[in-house]
Amino acid sequence: MILERVLSYSKTLLQRGISEGDIVIDGTAGNGHDTLFLAKLVGKTGHVYAFDIQQSAIDSTKQKLVDFINQTSVILDGHEHIPKYVNQEISAAVFNLGYLPGANHSTITKPDTTVMAIEACLNLLKVGGIIVIVVYHGHEGGDIERDGLLQYVSELPQSSIQVLKYEFINQVNHAPFILALEKIKKL
């Protein structure tokens, strides 16, 4: 297939933006798949800060990171509090919005806190860095978060941030899409 699937393309973008030794953020650790992917990319000299508000997500993420303990911080707190934990320049951040697969669907990411977290990441992001957001919007409340987020990113200053939407537009059932924000100049 020439056109990459959404999840695969999110990883391609992260791979292109991350080098060994980088500091990066996983804003929605969930079951830790992305955190592990990031930990492998930054290597022993880099660091991944991963956030989630559910203890079960923190536990599953930590289980995946047994070989990467020194280069990861798995934090039980909302991503809206990123500035409390990270004050170094980051080269990338990833968010997978929605609910934790296999858990209660009532705990979901929310528009206001998601935007606060993305704003915090944009402030920490180096020029040439990237934020990748996979937007799941088929669940209850997902449409509100999607619309709030689209409004926010579409108003970012184009002289500093390039905003990409990567979406298959002829799929049914609310297929997820990517928003990718690349910093091209200081804000």
- List contacts with ligand SAM (CB under 6 A): 28, 30-34, 51-54, 57, 78-80, 96, 98, 100, 107, 109, 113
User: Among residues 84 and 185, whose Cβ is nearest to ligand SAM?
Assistant: 84
Closest separation in Å from C-beta 117 to ligand SAM: 7
Which is closer to ligand SAM, CB of 31 or CB of 91? 31
Q: Which residue has the tokens 């009532």?
A: 106
Instruction: Output the residue with the shortest Cβ distance to ligand SAM.
Output: 30
Mapping DSSP to helix (H, G, I), strand (E, B) and coil, where does residue 126 land?
strand
What's the rounded Cα separation, in Å, for the pair 177 and 61?
24
Residue whose token pair is 């297929």: 175
Report the C-alpha gap between 62 and 56 in whole angstroms.
10
The CB-of-6 to ligand SAM minimum distance in angstroms stands at: 13
CB of 159 to ligand SAM, least distance (A): 30
The amino acid sitting at 156 is L
Measured CA distances, 149 to 111, 128, 144, 168 (Å):
7, 22, 9, 18
Minimum CB separation from ligand SAM for residue 106, in Å? 10
Nearer to ligand SAM, 24 or 53 (CB): 53
* Residue whose CB is less far from ligand SAM, 47 or 136: 136
Cβ proximity to ligand SAM, 32 vs 46, nearer residue: 32
* Amino acid, res. 148: G
CB of 157 to ligand SAM, least distance (A): 25
Identify the CA nearest to 73 among candidates 39, 34, 41.
Answer: 39
